[in-house]
Amino acid sequence: MSKAGFVALVGRPNAGKSTMMNWLLGEKIALVSQKANATRKRSNAIVMHHDDQIIFVDTPGLHQAEKLLNQYMLEEALKAIGDCDLIVYLAPASDKTSHYEKFLELNAQKRKHIIVLSKIDQVPQAELLKKIGEYNRFSDRFEALIPMSVTKNVGKNDLLDTIVKHLEESPYLYDPDNLTTEMMRDIYKEFVREAIFDNISDEIPYESDVMIDKIDEEGPIEHIRATIIVEKETQKGIIIGKGGSAIKRIGRSAREKIERLAGRPVYLDLFVSVKKGWSSDKKTLSDLGYEW
Protein backbone atom coordinates (compact mmCIF):
# COMPACT_ATOMS: atom_id res chain seq x y z
CA MET A 1 0.00 0.00 0.00
CA SER A 2 1.08 3.58 -0.56
CA LYS A 3 2.03 5.94 2.24
CA ALA A 4 0.58 9.39 2.91
CA GLY A 5 0.76 12.01 5.63
CA PHE A 6 1.08 15.63 6.71
CA VAL A 7 4.56 17.07 7.16
CA ALA A 8 4.95 20.48 8.83
CA LEU A 9 7.74 22.78 7.65
CA VAL A 10 8.84 24.82 10.67
CA GLY A 11 11.71 27.09 11.65
CA ARG A 12 12.62 30.63 12.56
CA PRO A 13 11.35 33.54 10.43
CA ASN A 14 13.09 33.79 7.04
CA ALA A 15 14.60 30.31 7.30
CA GLY A 16 13.42 29.55 3.76
CA LYS A 17 10.37 27.36 4.44
CA SER A 18 8.19 28.80 1.67
CA THR A 19 11.06 28.68 -0.82
CA MET A 20 11.65 25.04 0.03
CA MET A 21 7.96 24.15 -0.30
CA ASN A 22 7.77 25.74 -3.77
CA TRP A 23 10.97 23.86 -4.72
CA LEU A 24 9.68 20.50 -3.50
CA LEU A 25 6.38 21.06 -5.33
CA GLY A 26 8.02 22.30 -8.52
CA GLU A 27 5.51 25.14 -8.72
CA LYS A 28 5.27 28.55 -7.05
CA ILE A 29 2.23 28.78 -4.77
CA ALA A 30 3.68 30.27 -1.56
CA LEU A 31 4.78 33.85 -0.87
CA VAL A 32 8.57 34.24 -0.77
CA SER A 33 10.34 37.33 0.55
CA GLN A 34 13.76 38.33 1.86
CA LYS A 35 11.92 40.06 4.70
CA ALA A 36 11.17 38.00 7.81
CA ASN A 37 7.64 37.02 8.93
CA ALA A 38 6.11 37.30 5.46
CA THR A 39 4.16 34.03 5.84
CA ARG A 40 1.07 34.52 8.02
CA LYS A 41 -1.01 31.38 7.57
CA ARG A 42 -0.55 27.67 7.05
CA SER A 43 -0.75 26.48 3.45
CA ASN A 44 -0.54 23.00 1.96
CA ALA A 45 1.37 21.59 -1.02
CA ILE A 46 0.64 18.07 -2.28
CA VAL A 47 3.87 16.39 -3.40
CA MET A 48 3.85 12.95 -5.01
CA HIS A 49 7.05 10.97 -4.46
CA HIS A 50 6.96 7.75 -6.47
CA ASP A 51 3.71 6.10 -5.25
CA ASP A 52 3.51 8.02 -1.98
CA GLN A 53 1.82 11.31 -1.13
CA ILE A 54 3.33 13.97 1.14
CA ILE A 55 1.24 16.97 2.17
CA PHE A 56 3.70 19.67 3.17
CA VAL A 57 2.33 22.35 5.52
CA ASP A 58 4.13 25.69 5.25
CA THR A 59 4.00 27.68 8.50
CA PRO A 60 4.80 31.16 9.82
CA GLY A 61 8.19 31.48 11.49
CA LEU A 62 8.56 30.69 15.19
CA HIS A 63 8.93 34.11 16.82
CA GLN A 64 7.90 36.32 19.71
CA ALA A 65 4.16 37.05 19.53
CA GLU A 66 3.32 40.67 20.35
CA LYS A 67 0.54 42.02 18.12
CA LEU A 68 -2.68 40.04 17.77
CA LEU A 69 -1.70 39.14 14.20
CA ASN A 70 1.67 37.82 15.40
CA GLN A 71 -0.10 35.76 18.07
CA TYR A 72 -2.24 34.25 15.32
CA MET A 73 0.87 33.47 13.27
CA LEU A 74 2.60 31.70 16.16
CA GLU A 75 -0.60 29.76 16.87
CA GLU A 76 -0.71 28.63 13.24
CA ALA A 77 2.81 27.21 13.54
CA LEU A 78 2.03 25.49 16.84
CA LYS A 79 -1.16 23.94 15.43
CA ALA A 80 0.82 22.54 12.50
CA ILE A 81 3.35 21.05 14.91
CA GLY A 82 0.58 19.43 16.93
CA ASP A 83 -1.49 18.15 14.01
CA CYS A 84 1.18 16.74 11.68
CA ASP A 85 2.51 13.22 11.25
CA LEU A 86 6.10 14.43 10.96
CA ILE A 87 8.00 17.73 11.28
CA VAL A 88 10.77 19.03 9.05
CA TYR A 89 12.73 21.61 11.03
CA LEU A 90 14.54 23.99 8.68
CA ALA A 91 17.88 25.20 10.08
CA PRO A 92 20.05 27.46 7.90
CA ALA A 93 23.64 26.21 8.13
CA SER A 94 24.85 29.55 9.50
CA ASP A 95 22.36 29.51 12.42
CA LYS A 96 23.25 28.86 16.04
CA THR A 97 21.66 25.73 17.51
CA SER A 98 19.81 27.93 20.03
CA HIS A 99 16.98 28.35 17.50
CA TYR A 100 16.62 24.56 17.37
CA GLU A 101 16.65 24.33 21.16
CA LYS A 102 13.72 26.76 21.30
CA PHE A 103 11.86 24.56 18.82
CA LEU A 104 12.44 21.52 21.05
CA GLU A 105 10.75 23.43 23.88
CA LEU A 106 7.75 24.27 21.66
CA ASN A 107 7.43 20.67 20.42
CA ALA A 108 5.62 19.72 23.61
CA GLN A 109 4.11 16.55 22.17
CA LYS A 110 7.58 15.44 21.02
CA ARG A 111 6.44 14.86 17.45
CA LYS A 112 8.99 13.03 15.32
CA HIS A 113 11.11 15.42 13.31
CA ILE A 114 13.86 15.65 10.72
CA ILE A 115 16.41 18.46 10.65
CA VAL A 116 17.14 19.97 7.24
CA LEU A 117 20.40 21.88 7.34
CA SER A 118 19.61 24.37 4.60
CA LYS A 119 21.58 26.92 2.57
CA ILE A 120 24.71 24.73 2.75
CA ASP A 121 26.08 26.48 -0.34
CA GLN A 122 26.47 29.65 1.74
CA VAL A 123 29.04 28.28 4.24
CA PRO A 124 32.53 26.76 3.81
CA GLN A 125 32.80 22.96 3.99
CA ALA A 126 34.69 23.07 7.30
CA GLU A 127 31.98 25.23 8.88
CA LEU A 128 29.30 22.87 7.59
CA LEU A 129 31.00 19.83 9.12
CA LYS A 130 31.36 21.69 12.42
CA LYS A 131 27.66 22.58 12.36
CA ILE A 132 26.67 18.96 11.71
CA GLY A 133 28.75 18.02 14.75
CA GLU A 134 26.90 20.60 16.86
CA TYR A 135 23.52 19.14 15.90
CA ASN A 136 24.73 15.60 16.52
CA ARG A 137 24.71 16.46 20.23
CA PHE A 138 20.92 16.24 19.88
CA SER A 139 20.91 13.02 17.84
CA ASP A 140 18.58 11.28 20.31
CA ARG A 141 15.93 13.96 19.60
CA PHE A 142 15.69 13.83 15.78
CA GLU A 143 15.16 11.08 13.21
CA ALA A 144 17.64 12.30 10.58
CA LEU A 145 19.76 15.30 9.59
CA ILE A 146 19.85 16.16 5.88
CA PRO A 147 22.07 18.86 4.32
CA MET A 148 20.25 20.74 1.56
CA SER A 149 20.60 23.58 -0.92
CA VAL A 150 17.63 24.79 -2.93
CA THR A 151 19.94 27.01 -5.01
CA LYS A 152 22.20 24.09 -5.96
CA ASN A 153 19.32 21.59 -6.14
CA VAL A 154 20.93 19.34 -3.50
CA GLY A 155 19.13 17.04 -1.06
CA LYS A 156 15.59 16.86 -2.47
CA ASN A 157 15.40 13.09 -3.04
CA ASP A 158 17.22 12.35 0.23
CA LEU A 159 14.62 14.38 2.09
CA LEU A 160 11.61 12.88 0.31
CA ASP A 161 12.92 9.32 0.74
CA THR A 162 13.54 9.92 4.45
CA ILE A 163 10.11 11.46 5.00
CA VAL A 164 8.36 8.51 3.37
CA LYS A 165 10.19 6.09 5.70
CA HIS A 166 8.51 7.77 8.66
CA LEU A 167 4.95 7.93 7.27
CA GLU A 168 2.26 5.31 7.85
CA GLU A 169 0.68 3.22 5.11
CA SER A 170 -2.39 5.05 3.87
CA PRO A 171 -4.47 5.62 0.74
CA TYR A 172 -4.03 9.02 -0.86
CA LEU A 173 -5.57 11.83 1.17
CA TYR A 174 -6.08 14.07 -1.88
CA ASP A 175 -6.34 13.71 -5.64
CA PRO A 176 -2.73 13.18 -6.76
CA ASP A 177 -3.27 15.53 -9.71
CA ASN A 178 -3.83 18.47 -7.33
CA LEU A 179 -0.95 20.74 -6.32
CA THR A 180 -2.53 22.21 -3.21
CA THR A 181 -5.61 22.27 -0.99
CA GLU A 182 -5.64 26.08 -1.07
CA MET A 183 -8.31 28.06 -2.88
CA MET A 184 -7.01 30.07 -5.83
CA ARG A 185 -8.18 33.34 -4.28
CA ASP A 186 -5.93 32.66 -1.27
CA ILE A 187 -2.93 32.03 -3.53
CA TYR A 188 -3.71 35.19 -5.54
CA LYS A 189 -3.87 37.15 -2.28
CA GLU A 190 -0.40 35.91 -1.35
CA PHE A 191 0.96 36.91 -4.76
CA VAL A 192 -0.31 40.47 -4.27
CA ARG A 193 1.20 40.51 -0.77
CA GLU A 194 4.50 39.27 -2.20
CA ALA A 195 4.45 42.09 -4.75
CA ILE A 196 4.00 44.57 -1.89
CA PHE A 197 6.96 43.05 -0.04
CA ASP A 198 9.04 43.23 -3.23
CA ASN A 199 8.18 46.82 -4.12
CA ILE A 200 7.56 48.67 -0.84
CA SER A 201 10.21 49.03 1.86
CA ASP A 202 10.24 49.53 5.63
CA GLU A 203 7.31 48.46 7.82
CA ILE A 204 4.47 49.01 5.33
CA PRO A 205 4.40 45.41 4.04
CA TYR A 206 3.95 44.23 7.64
CA GLU A 207 1.11 46.69 8.23
CA SER A 208 -0.72 45.81 5.04
CA ASP A 209 -2.88 42.95 3.87
CA VAL A 210 -4.97 42.04 0.84
CA MET A 211 -8.58 41.08 0.29
CA ILE A 212 -9.62 39.47 -3.00
CA ASP A 213 -13.00 41.06 -3.66
CA LYS A 214 -13.99 39.35 -6.90
CA ILE A 215 -12.74 36.85 -9.46
CA ASP A 216 -14.41 36.60 -12.87
CA GLU A 217 -13.11 33.60 -14.83
CA GLU A 218 -15.50 33.93 -17.77
CA GLY A 219 -14.03 34.87 -21.12
CA PRO A 220 -10.45 34.66 -22.36
CA ILE A 221 -9.12 37.05 -19.68
CA GLU A 222 -9.47 36.38 -15.95
CA HIS A 223 -10.57 39.54 -14.09
CA ILE A 224 -9.52 39.97 -10.44
CA ARG A 225 -10.44 42.85 -8.13
CA ALA A 226 -8.42 43.17 -4.92
CA THR A 227 -8.14 45.70 -2.09
CA ILE A 228 -4.89 46.41 -0.26
CA ILE A 229 -5.54 47.19 3.41
CA VAL A 230 -3.19 49.53 5.30
CA GLU A 231 -3.15 51.07 8.79
CA LYS A 232 -2.60 54.77 7.97
CA GLU A 233 -3.42 57.39 5.35
CA THR A 234 0.29 58.06 4.83
CA GLN A 235 0.78 54.37 4.00
CA LYS A 236 -2.01 54.55 1.44
CA GLY A 237 -0.13 57.35 -0.31
CA ILE A 238 3.08 55.33 -0.39
CA ILE A 239 1.30 52.23 -1.75
CA ILE A 240 -0.23 54.32 -4.53
CA GLY A 241 2.95 56.31 -5.22
CA LYS A 242 3.43 59.47 -7.25
CA GLY A 243 1.04 59.40 -10.15
CA GLY A 244 0.08 55.84 -9.23
CA SER A 245 3.61 54.58 -9.96
CA ALA A 246 3.96 52.27 -6.94
CA ILE A 247 0.60 50.56 -7.25
CA LYS A 248 1.28 50.03 -10.97
CA ARG A 249 4.54 48.23 -10.07
CA ILE A 250 2.75 46.14 -7.47
CA GLY A 251 -0.05 45.29 -9.90
CA ARG A 252 2.32 44.35 -12.71
CA SER A 253 4.44 42.13 -10.45
CA ALA A 254 1.40 40.37 -8.93
CA ARG A 255 -0.30 39.94 -12.31
CA GLU A 256 2.76 38.23 -13.80
CA LYS A 257 2.91 35.77 -10.88
CA ILE A 258 -0.83 35.02 -11.18
CA GLU A 259 -0.64 34.55 -14.95
CA ARG A 260 2.20 32.03 -14.61
CA LEU A 261 0.12 29.91 -12.25
CA ALA A 262 -3.23 30.41 -14.00
CA GLY A 263 -1.79 29.84 -17.47
CA ARG A 264 -3.95 32.58 -18.99
CA PRO A 265 -4.07 36.40 -19.31
CA VAL A 266 -5.18 38.26 -16.18
CA TYR A 267 -6.56 41.75 -15.61
CA LEU A 268 -5.82 42.79 -12.01
CA ASP A 269 -7.62 45.82 -10.58
CA LEU A 270 -6.10 47.07 -7.29
CA PHE A 271 -7.59 49.46 -4.74
CA VAL A 272 -6.26 50.72 -1.40
CA SER A 273 -8.28 51.11 1.81
CA VAL A 274 -7.29 52.39 5.28
CA LYS A 275 -8.42 50.36 8.29
CA LYS A 276 -6.74 51.78 11.36
CA GLY A 277 -5.54 49.13 13.78
CA TRP A 278 -6.61 46.23 11.56
CA SER A 279 -3.75 43.99 12.76
CA SER A 280 -4.95 44.30 16.36
CA ASP A 281 -8.69 43.94 15.68
CA LYS A 282 -10.05 40.40 15.83
CA LYS A 283 -13.10 41.10 13.65
CA THR A 284 -11.05 42.71 10.87
CA LEU A 285 -8.52 39.88 11.05
CA SER A 286 -11.40 37.42 10.75
CA ASP A 287 -12.73 39.29 7.70
CA LEU A 288 -9.25 38.94 6.16
CA GLY A 289 -9.30 35.18 6.69
CA TYR A 290 -7.38 34.86 9.95
CA GLU A 291 -9.72 32.54 11.85
CA TRP A 292 -8.89 31.39 15.36
pLDDT of residue 197: 96
Q: Kindly report the backbone phi and psi dihedral angles of residue 288, in degrees, each rounded to the nearest multiple of 5, phi listed first.
A: -85, 0
What's the confidence (pLDDT) of residue 66? Answer: 78
C-alpha span between 272 and 262 (Å, rounded): 24
Does residue 208 sit within a domain? yes
Q: Please report, as a single letter, which amino acid is at residue 105.
A: E
User: What is the rounded CA–CA span in Å between residue 226 and residue 213?
Assistant: 5
Residue 69 located in a structural domain: yes
Q: Has residue 123 been placed in a domain?
A: yes
Instruction: Find the Cα–Cα–Cα–Cα dihedral 43, 47, 51, 52, rounded to 10°.
Output: -40
Structure confidence at residue 239 (pLDDT): 97
Q: Whole-model pTM?
A: 0.93
Check: CB of residue 152 under 8 Å from CB of residue 255: no
Structural domain includes residue 18: yes
The answer to the question of residue 70 being in a domain is yes
Overall number of domains in the chain: 2
- Does residue 42 sit in the same domain as residue 149? yes
Indicate whether 218 and 108 sit together in one domain. no
CATH code of the domain containing 81: 3.40.50.300
Q: Any idea what the CATH number is for the domain that residue 267 is in?
A: 3.30.300.20
Q: CA-to-CA distance for 181 and 258, rounded, in angstroms?
A: 17
The answer on 196 and 75 residing in a single domain is no
pLDDT computed for residue 201 by the predictor: 86
Residue by residue, pLDDT tens for the chain (292 residues) are: 899 999 999 999 999 999 999 999 999 999 999 888 899 999 999 999 999 999 999 999 998 877 899 999 999 999 999 999 999 999 999 999 999 999 999 998 899 999 999 999 999 999 999 999 999 999 999 999 999 999 999 999 999 999 999 999 999 999 999 999 999 999 999 999 999 999 998 889 999 999 999 999 999 999 999 999 999 999 999 999 999 999 999 999 999 999 999 999 999 999 999 999 999 999 999 999 998 7
Domain-located, residue 170 = no
Residue 202 is predicted with a pLDDT of: 83
- On whether residue 147 sits in a domain, the answer given is yes
Determine whether 242 is exposed, middle or buried from the number of CB atoms within 10 Å of its CB (0-12, 13-18, 19+): exposed
Q: Are residues 41 and 73 in the same domain?
A: yes
Q: Is the dihedral of CA 198, 186, 209, 32 positive or negative?
A: negative
Q: For residue 277, what pLDDT is reported?
A: 93
Looking at 112, 134, 165, which one is the last position of a domain? 165
- With beta carbons less than 8 A apart as the criterion, state whether 81 and 9 touch: no
Domain containing 87 equals: 4-165
